[in-house]
Homo-oligomer: A and B are copies of this chain.
C-alpha cells in the first residue's frame, strides 16, 4: 500500500494532555489547542475545532481519560462514570463513534471492579484502552481502504463530500483514503471535491489533504455536483458516515442525501465508507437518528463576515439521512455490505 501518512495529525497525546489541531483555522494556519481537561476536549468537539466521526470518537475517548484523571476526592464511582460519559456523548449526538469509544472505556473501567478507588491505575487503564481503540481504528481504516479500492473501476472520475481523510479519521481516512490510494494505484483520473457548506470542510480540508497526498483534484460548489456528475461523467460518489442504522440508513454531513439522489438519477454508484464503529445496531432505521441542529450564524457568517441580511432566518441541520436503498454499498473493515443491509451480526 502506497498510502502516505498526512503530515497533519488531527490530535496527539503528550504529557497527559490532548493536543487538538484547530481545523477551523485550516488551511491557513496550523495551530494545536492544548486540552488539559475533558471539558476542553468537549469544547473543541462542539466548536468543531475537531470533526469527523472516527477522529472525534477517539478524541472523546481521550476526554473520558482526562475526566478520570481529573476526578477528585471521594465520589460515587458508577455515578461519576455515567455522568461524565453522558456529558461527553452529548457534545455531538449524531456521531455514534463517540458513544462507542466512551462506552467501551467505561465498560473497561467497570470491569476492573475492585480497583475502583485507585484513580491513577484507572487513568492508566483508560489510556491503555483508548490507545488500543486507536490501533484498531488504524487497522480498520487500512482494511476499509483496501475493500474500497477494489470497488473503484479503472479510469474513474470520483466525487466526494466533506472531509474523510486523516484529519477526520485520525489515520489514513475512509472515503478520502480510498480515493487517495486508488489514485496512486492508477485507477482514478479525476477527483471532484464539494466545498461542503456551511463549514467548507471540502474547500478547506479535503483540498489540503489531497495536496499533501499529491492527488490532483477539482474543487466545486455543492450545487455544481449535478452538473459535474452529468457533464464530466462522474463514475461514482464516495463519502463517509457519522452514524449508520441497522437497516443501512446513513447519517452524514448535510448534502450527502442530495448526492445520493443525484447518483440514483444518473445511475452511478453511491458508496459509504466507514468503520463498523459507526454502525448503531440499536436503531432500526434512520428515523431514530437525531439530527443535530447547529447555530444559524455558522451559515450567516464566513470568515467572521456576514453573507446575508442581519435578520435572515436560517436553519442549519448539520447532517441528513440517506435512505439505505439509495446506497450502493457500505464499505467497512468487516467487508462490503449491500442492500438490504443487515448488520445485526457484526
CB neighbours of A309 from chain B (8 A): 27, 204, 207-208, 211
Most buried by B among A27, A225, A228, A258: A258
Q: Do B262 and A221 touch across chains, with their CB atoms under 8 A apart?
A: no
Is the CB–CB distance between A258 and B262 below 8 Å? Answer: yes
User: Which B residues are in CB contact (< 8 Å) with A264?
Assistant: 265
Q: Report whether B308 and A305 are in contact in the complex, using a CB–CB cutoff of 8 Å.
A: no
User: A295-312: which have CB < 8 Å to B?
Assistant: 299-300, 302-303, 305-309, 311-312
7 contacts between A and B (CB under 8 A): A204-B309, A218-B313, A224-B317, A225-B258, A228-B315, A231-B317, A261-B262
- Shortest 5 CB-CB distances between A and B: which pairs? A223-B255, A226-B258, A222-B223, A197-B221, A203-B308
Point out the residues of chain B lying under 8 angstroms from A313, CB to CB. 216-219
Known: A221-B299, A313-B216. A307 touches B227 (CB 8 A): no
Task: Determine whether A93 belongs to the interface, using a CB cutoff of 8 Å to chain B.
Answer: no
How big is chain A's contact interface, by range?
A: 35 or more
- Chain A residues at the B interface, C-beta cutoff of 8 Å: 27-28, 194-198, 200, 203-204, 207-208, 211, 216-228, 230-231, 254-255, 257-258, 261-262, 264-265, 299-300, 302-303, 305-309, 311-315, 317, 320
Q: Which residue of B lies closest to A197 (CB)?
A: B221
Q: CB-nearest residue of chain B relative to A313?
A: B218
